[in-house]
Structure 1
Amino acid sequence: MYFLDNTGFNPNPSSLERCIRCLCKVGLIEEALGVFSKLKEIGVKGSIKTWNSVLSCCVKIDRTDLVWKLYQDMIESGVVVDVDAETVGNLIQAFCIDGKVSKGYELFRQALEEGLEPGLVTFDRLISGFCKEKNFDRVSELLHTMIAINRYPDIRTYGEVIKGLCKSGKGFEGYRIFNDLKGRGYVPDRVMYTIMINGLCKMELVGDARKLWFEMINKGILPNDYTYNALIRGYCKIGNLEEAKELHKEMCGKGYGGTTLSYNIMIAGLCLHRETDEAYQLFGEMTQKGLAHDVITYNTLIRGFCKKGKIADGTNLLKELLARGLQPSTNSYTPLIEKLCEMGDVQEAKSLWNDMCNWDLKPLVRTHDYLITGLCEQGFVTEGMQQLKEMLNSKLKPQKGTLERLVLYLTRADSFDDSLLVIELMFRLGYTLNKGIYHLLVTKLCRENSSFIETCLGDILERN
């Protein structure tokens, strides 16, 4: 654009269109749009081939805002009457990127009725979108449609299906399809092997995943960092930390392990099995290798330290996270607040709670329960009731155990009116009252010796 604006050079329209298509091929969408505007300035609307190049480039970089703007320009310029299968395919993909898979599917059916057959990439986008929605009936329909119009699904298409099944808890079905494809002559690539290894590891079938690992290598397909991470995560999940560490060492030796992600996986695995000291060593190793600690690294270690009761270490990590200018998440605070409540340091828990809220972070529902219980156990029953009110105002449902604890401490403190309010809330939420708490309440209320108390007890008995 600078060249055109400042040199006086005035290429013909066909040259401008070729320039636009070249820029789109290398992903320079802003520059392409700049030349496109030059084309419109001289009154040339451009060929459908050029419009498709720009639309396709926008889709590839997920700039659906530009797709819809360009489509509106197409309508206004009259180009829309010349749309072909590629144009429609780009629009369908844009719908899928925006999470409007059903709208994309409607356009897809309309295109087929009009004799337009979108390409494989469009089918893959639709299949991926319906997999995310767990609508496998629609996925099956699309696969049959592909075969019917002689656009046979390739290994990438089936990879989307298997990935969707594994993510939806249908890993065995994904594995069946994977083996069936091999039997039908399909040759899985590294991406599909990695998808299947990851799916098997999620089902804790690490032995089967390892077999695929060796099968892949024997076929001359070398694992990459994604494959290594999938298997390492699998070993960590089943508690085989020695294999996980050995694989991570091998990965680093081959030049794949120098990423924050790979270290986060190992740190998470070690923390899961309470090996926090070793996890912290890896944390230090990251610094030595010049790898950045992200919020996930800190959160994982904070949670690991809290599990072992090392509150001071967890708190120091939170301070370090903030000092480094990283944006904390709810998970940066949650383990600390909950552990502090368990250990009786409710004031420090409240301080962290306030810090978290100052970051506009929403506490988890269960963290409200921890704080209410912690306040009650330390004798701050009134504050516990206030916290319950805030919880209810936020339309959050407290756990049964939390409300029972409140009734217990309120009853011990002779706060019968509040006890009855909480009991009423329990009944409204569908909870019943624990026998031990009920007996304590009966004993306390009977001392009052009033017909009102008798009526209350009768009502509680009936509803419990």
Structure 2
Amino acid sequence: MIRASSYVNSFFRHRARRNPNAQLRNLSVDGKDGVSEAEGSGSIGGERVSQDISRRNYTEMAKIVATITREKPRWEQTLVSDFPSFNFADPLFFRELVATQNNVLLSLRFFQWLCTNHDCTPDPISSNMLFEALLDAKAVRAAKMVRDIAGFIPDSASLEQYVKCLCGVGFIEEAIEVYFQLKEAGIRISIVACNSILSGCLKAGKTELLFEFYQEMIKAGTASDANTETVGCLIQAFCDSGQVARGYELLNQFLKTGLDPGNPTYNKLIAGFCQAKNYASMSEVLHTMIARNHLPTIYTYQEIINGLCKNEECLEAYRVFNDLKDRGYAPDRVMYTTMIHGLCEMGSFGEARKLWFEMMDKGMQPNAYTYNTMLHGSLKSGDFERACELYNEMCNKGYGTTTVTCNKIISELCSRGKSDEAFEVFKKMSETGIQADAITYNSLIRGFCKEGKVDERMNLLNELVAQDPQPSVSLYELLIIKSCKDGDFEAAKRLLGDMSSKGLHPNAYTYDTMLHGSLKSGDFEHVRELYNETCNKGYGTTTATCNKIISELCSRGKSDEASEMFKKMSETGIKADAITYNSLIRGFCKEGKVGKSMNLLNELVAQGLQPSASSYASLIIQLCQNGDAESAKRLWGDMVSKGIEPHANLREHLISGLCKQGRATEGMDRLMGMLENKIKPKKAAFEDLAECLIQSERFDDCLLVLYIMRKMGYVIKRDVCHSVLSRPCLK
């Protein structure tokens, strides 16, 4: 029935038993003249006369010393000098003092002074007397100290009382040690003391130790004296350890022996079966209870309703609640609050409000827990106005709400753009002694961020930083994002540094946000630092961020560095897109690295990506400038075949490139094509073509080009006119 003992005996028996007489000095009982009682008389009758005289003297002296120790603040410093010939270490005197003093703590103080200043320990009888007095005063810690200092073994009655007192203050292991001391001395400890140990184990949550100690009780034969308190402790232990069925089995076993533990045990089993959703067994216990003439109390039904509500059986709980009222039971405030909470959790806010007003109509004022229950229900139902009314009503009545409730109100206010009102709730929390936590600060800071209140959010952050727990990574991330959006990149950098100094590790998104902010601010050196830090920590940044960095590097004429980053993207699993390639192509073209640009273009096309018009343009222009008009023409054709419309200036660059190679006819065709498409060429294109036609001695075509040029409003240069007119004449 009960689990076997595993360590109770061994837990204590490893300690060496102390000899109570070891290290004790036998104290003499000196008379007034300094002669001991043993020496003062040669006969038994003489000893008795001497002891009676001494006792009378000690009684008078005890009264004097008791008054001194009670009224004189630092009596320890002067007591010996005030009575130099008196032997304060005499056991008879100490016993008289303990009996005379009404304050056992003053006796304890004298005991400590005696041990410290006279290098002695009172005899076992005196020690036991003080020990018992301390136990009667429930000063168990002081009694334990006296026992440890004196090293004596109290009598069995005192030890039993000591066991009860130890259990009362949670010293369960010490109580079990005393139990074994009594057992080894051949003393059978009473069931009352054993029940104290069982009850103490329950209070301390040590159910395993309880079962093992009960096994020891069985071995010692003490379990045969088990009473209803013993049974109640065992069943509660089974319920507390989640073994309600075994607790019920044990109840039935003890009921057969005539031991009925009463209502508290039945209620515990009912609550346990409700929690386990074993409603059939719960009903059995209830019927057994009634059959044993134990009428269920309102507390019994409270356990049933509470268990049903916790297991989301609120409709059944509500049926039981209403049935109770119909049968004449008067639910108390606790039961009303439990039922209101269950209905709110179920979403039946209308029924919950009915019970709220019904409870008040019956003269039961809601307490703080009831208010909090209704407040949570109002928030859950979306009735925020009602929640605010309840909150203000609570504050006016002096009820303290919870941090969780305040956090929900603050969060809701902030989501509605009412951060100032949320801040008022925050201030009221401090005034009413409700501790704000990280969630409180996070909600407020997010609210202030949403409304762009920079100073307020930073002040709150500084306040949070000074407390514990520290701000979360997500909160820092929010502030960094907001600072970057506001253009305050220095503040964002400080926040990032603050995170690192506090041992908080920014995530990939935080780094990405900072990279974007630094790029936007033009702080490219910080961009490099952040990017390298991101890579070293194994965080993968985004393609968009890498594209921005590559574009910035290319615009600064650092295409090789951009190319290295392009390679690192591939190594870290970041996929390059058309923007990546196009940025690099333009960057290489800008630095005249046409071969690298062409290789990237081919790679781009091979991956099924579309080159941009600007990439084609950059390559065509660079090829034309390099005099490679043939390659430029091929790219032009490729561009047109992909449906990409060339810009007008690109046509002009191609005309200029063709003219540089003396290909006047092709240049003339390109120009006429532009005119047919009603695209107005720039002046430079006309001039380059005219010069090429002159060099080719095609003067008629040249005059035609100049005529069109003049007609379009361009002024013809004097040297061009001179060349056209002089060449034929020279011939």
- The two structures have a TM-score, normalised by structure 2, of 0.49
Question: Contact 1:210–1:231 (CA<8 Å) still a contact in 2?
Answer: no
Give the Cα separation in 2 of the matches to 1:112 and 1:204: 43
Q: Which residue of 2 aligns with 1:433?
A: 507
Deviations 1:31-75 (A, max 9, x none): xxxxxxxx9589xx9xxxx9999999x8xxxxxxx4118976x97
Letter of the 1:414 counterpart:
G
**1:453–1:212 distance in 2 versus 1, CA, 3 Å:** same
Q: 2:335 aligns with which of 262, 273, 278?
A: 262
Deviations 1:271-317 (A, max 9, x none): 22232332222121122212232111111111211222323222222
Question: Contact 1:124–1:157 (CA<8 Å) still a contact in 2?
Answer: yes
Give the Cα separation in 2 of the matches to 1:286 and 1:390: 42
Question: Contact 1:128–1:164 (CA<8 Å) still a contact in 2?
Answer: no
Q: Which residue of 1 aligns with 2:413?
A: 340
Give the Cα separation in 2 of the matches to 1:370 and 1:444: 24
Question: Contact 2:483–2:489 (CA<8 Å) still a contact in 1?
Answer: yes
Give the Cα separation in 1 of the matches to 2:345 and 2:483: 37
Q: Which residue of 2 aligns with 1:323?
A: 396
- The two structures have a TM-score, normalised by structure 1, of 0.73
Deviations 1:204-226 (A, max 9, x none): 44454345434544555432222
Larger radius of gyration: 2
Deviations 1:146-201 (A, max 9, x none): 2122222555435435545545xx42x34334335535756664322321221233
Q: 1:123 aligns with which of 194, 215, 218?
A: 194
**1:382–1:215 distance in 2 versus 1, CA, 3 Å:** farther
* 1:351-362 alignment, distance < 5 Å: 351-362=424-435
Q: 1:450 aligns with which of 514, 524, 539?
A: 524
Question: Contact 1:410–1:416 (CA<8 Å) still a contact in 2?
Answer: yes
Letter of the 1:454 counterpart:
R
Q: CA RMSD in A?
A: 4.2
Larger relative contact order (CA 8 Å, sep ≥ 6): 1
SS state at 1:414 partner:
coil
Q: 2:482 aligns with which of 403, 409, 420?
A: 409
Give the Cα separation in 2 of the matches to 1:221 and 1:135: 29
* 1:49-448 alignment, distance < 5 Å: 66-68=137-139, 84-85=155-156, 87-115=158-186, 117-152=188-223, 153-154=226-227, 156-164=229-237, 166-167=239-240, 170-171=241-242, 173-182=243-252, 185=256, 189-206=262-279, 208-217=281-290, 220-254=293-327, 256-328=329-401, 330=403, 333-420=406-493, 422-423=495-496, 433=507, 435=509, 437-447=510-520, 448=522
Letter of the 1:372 counterpart:
I
Question: Greater CA deviation, 344-353 or 81-90?
Answer: 81-90
**1:365–1:208 distance in 2 versus 1, CA, 3 Å:** farther
Question: Contact 1:271–1:304 (CA<8 Å) still a contact in 2?
Answer: yes
SS state at 1:315 partner:
helix
Question: Contact 2:400–2:434 (CA<8 Å) still a contact in 1?
Answer: no
Give the Cα separation in 1 of the matches to 2:505 and 2:272: 38
Give the Cα separation in 2 of the matches to 1:104 and 1:387: 52
SS state at 2:246 partner:
helix
**1:215–1:454 distance in 2 versus 1, CA, 3 Å:** farther
CA-CA distance at 1:269 after TM superposition: 0.9
Question: Contact 1:330–1:364 (CA<8 Å) still a contact in 2?
Answer: yes
SS state at 2:222 partner:
coil
Extract unaligned runs of 5+ from structure 1: 1-38, 59-65
Question: Contact 2:407–2:443 (CA<8 Å) still a contact in 1?
Answer: no
Question: Greater CA deviation, 128-137 or 351-360?
Answer: 128-137
CA-CA distance at 1:359 after TM superposition: 2.0
Question: Contact 1:336–1:349 (CA<8 Å) still a contact in 2?
Answer: yes
Letter of the 1:223 counterpart:
P
Letter of the 1:433 counterpart:
N
Question: Contact 1:182–1:188 (CA<8 Å) still a contact in 2?
Answer: no
CA-CA distance at 1:120 after TM superposition: 3.7
CA-CA distance at 1:421 after TM superposition: 5.0
Question: Contact 2:407–2:439 (CA<8 Å) still a contact in 1?
Answer: no
CA-CA distance at 1:335 after TM superposition: 3.6
Q: Which residue of 1 aligns with 2:665?
A: none
User: How many residues were matched structurally?
Assistant: 411
SS state at 2:139 partner:
helix
Give the Cα separation in 2 of the matches to 1:341 and 1:122: 59
Deviations 1:110-158 (A, max 9, x none): 4444455554444344334434544343223211122122222555435
CA-CA distance at 1:270 after TM superposition: 1.3
CA-CA distance at 1:357 after TM superposition: 0.7
Identity %: 23
Question: Contact 2:515–2:527 (CA<8 Å) still a contact in 1?
Answer: no
Question: Contact 1:93–1:125 (CA<8 Å) still a contact in 2?
Answer: yes
Letter of the 2:517 counterpart:
K
Q: 2:534 aligns with which of 457, 460, 464?
A: 460
Extract unaligned runs of 5+ from structure 2: 1-98, 108-128, 540-731
Letter of the 1:178 counterpart:
Y
Question: Contact 1:333–1:352 (CA<8 Å) still a contact in 2?
Answer: yes
Question: Contact 1:346–1:375 (CA<8 Å) still a contact in 2?
Answer: yes
SS state at 2:334 partner:
helix
CA-CA distance at 1:417 after TM superposition: 4.5
**1:402–1:97 distance in 2 versus 1, CA, 3 Å:** farther
CA-CA distance at 1:82 after TM superposition: 9.5
Give the Cα separation in 2 of the matches to 1:54 and 1:318: 52
Give the Cα separation in 1 of the matches to 2:479 and 2:495: 8
CA-CA distance at 1:361 after TM superposition: 2.3
